[in-house]
Chains A and B, each alone.
Chain A
Amino acid sequence: MARSIGFNLLQVLFVVALAPLVSGVLSRLKEIVQSRRGPSIFQPYRDLRKLFSKDEVVSEQASWIFRFTPYLVFVAPIFVTTLIPVLTSYPLFFAFMGDMLGGGFVLALGGFFATLAAVDTANPYGPMGASRTRMVGFLAEPVFMIVFFTVSFIAGSTIPYIVQQHWVTLSEFFAPSHVLLVIAFVMLILAEAGRIPVDNPTGHFELAMIDESKSLEYSGTGMALMKWGGQMKLLVLMCILLNVLVTPWGLAAGKDVMGVILAAPLVLFKISLFILVLVVIESSLAKLRLFRVSEFLGAAFVTSVVAMITGLLRF
């Protein structure tokens, strides 16, 4: 049991330590594809170090919510990490503390507080971005529900560790419900993490911001925690997609420490393949106008319902 807890902590360490690297690689690769040089892949670490050493300025009007939010945004993905398979394919100590819906709720809690904090300071751009995020959020919600219900219906469980065992055989892997679920979930990740067809993560124009404007008022440590939390959220969503929904391969099956540590490069390899896909999507599409987002998520919803229907037809 001690070893199981240890592996769980190792997974948390993996996510916390490598989340900035993943977003650094993502932005570097995107710059290279667009024939620019781009910053080093370690730039996010330098940014975080710089922000942690800076003073924090908090508005006098801000309430406790504003101060509390960065910690929550930072901690929420860590909680989810204990519930999902990051490095091992068998359930670890905390695996049965919550299922995928529970993980979704924890992530949503972070998002909810980020919204509150954006409204809290009465900066005009904060509430605007916050309400847009909510708009994207409530359009994404039905897709989330259908995806998770279909997954749990087909795999017979909502615990991520058990779900991922289901797609191992080739005929299950090519099952239409599986492939369509993965497509719908990729579209969800794009919307939830504020990637390009929905939101421009590198944009600095306040009027066009969706996700970024929520952290406009933060500085110093608070900003660092918000950034790091956002990077971890992206990595956690990728892990759910890759380790639970797409490919259960490459995870450690044995209980020895070296095996689990050696699973890390394999998982990183899978993540870098997905980053490549993400870069292609982001470089080939333009950002949608705000009111077209509903069509994008409508398409995701249709995809997930088609997945559900073809899943039902198999029985």
Chain B
Amino acid sequence: MANFAPVLASLNGLAAGAFLMSAFGLLATRQMQGCLRFYKLQSLTVIASIVLIAIGMHVPDLLAVALLDFAIKPLLIPWLLRRYVREEIFRRREIDQVLNIPGSLLVALVLTLIAYFLAGLLPPASDAMGNINVPIGLAGLLLGAFTLAVRREAVPQLIGIFGIENGSLFAGIAIAPRLPLVAEMAFPFDMLIVALVIGILTRITHERVGTTEVGALRSLREEAAK
């Protein structure tokens, strides 16, 4: 076990690296399909990290959280989105962004560095895993918020919100791995409801207005009186 821990820590670090890469992917992919795929990947890295922390810190409760997250995030949420959001939104290839892609990648890099320095101001975590998870999770949170700001289409913005949640979960499990199971269970269900509500809202907006591009929704359209 003694020489097993460093390998666990570096595998957790690897999950952290993949998490950060997929956060960048969420920001930079042009296709909605790819965006959703990166979200699945990011959720899987979060789950991998949860499992590794559960083994490394001996918190068996976290395995249940991982299982629940696995059922909801990479499986149920994409299925819901595919079901409730119109197919043609997913088929569209290019999403226009406020910033071009290399530019937004550079801003994202700066955000990552900010997250790194912010995490340095916090008191150091009790073990090696927290030292990786907190700054990376913070970076994921900031990148999700930036995705939300840069994207113009409703579905990638929704995925940006999910990115924020993934980031906070990634940082949170390392800070407080022994949170009661009930509290941990609440978050994935929240995400499910968010996906459902925004999915339906997007569908209705698309039916009424004809577009879900937030940048194009500028003028007020009134319903015809019934």
Contacts and interface: CB of A to CB of B under 8 A. Distances in A.
A174 B113 CA distance: 23
A65 interface: no
Interface in A144-192: 170-172, 174-177, 179-180
A204 to B, nearest CB: 30
Contact of B102 (A175, A176, A179, A298): A298
A305 B109 CA distance: 8
A174 B18 CA distance: 12
Given A171-B10, A302-B108, A310-B136, A180 B24 contact: no
Q: How large is the interface on A (under 10, 10 to 19, 20 to 34, 35 or more residues)?
A: 20 to 34
A303 interface: yes
A174 B10 contact: yes
A179 B14 contact: yes
A170 B108 CA distance: 31
Contacts of A179: 14, 17
Contacts of A310: 13, 16-17, 20, 132, 136
B17 A180 contact: yes
Nearest to A179: B14
B130 to A, nearest CB: 11
B131 interface: yes
Contacts of A175: 10, 13-14
Contacts of B112: 305-306, 309
> What secondary structure prevails in chain B residues at the interface with A?
helix
Interface residues of B, number: 25
Interface string A288-308: 000000110011011101110
A171 B2 CA distance: 12
B131 A176 contact: no
Contacts of B135: 309, 313
Contacts of B63: none
Nearest to A183: B21
A174 B131 contact: no
B14 A176 contact: yes
A299 B24 CA distance: 9
Nearest to A295: B101
A309 B120 CA distance: 12
A307 B16 CA distance: 10
Given A171-B6, A176-B10, A313-B131, 14 more contacts: A175-B13, A175-B14, A176-B16, A176-B17, A176-B132, A301-B105, A302-B21, A302-B108, A305-B109, A306-B112, A309-B20, A309-B113, A309-B135, A314-B131
Interface of B: 6-7, 9-11, 13-14, 16-17, 20-21, 24, 28, 101-102, 105, 108-109, 112-113, 116, 131-132, 135-136
Interface of A: 170-172, 174-177, 179-180, 294-295, 298-299, 301-303, 305-307, 309-310, 312-314
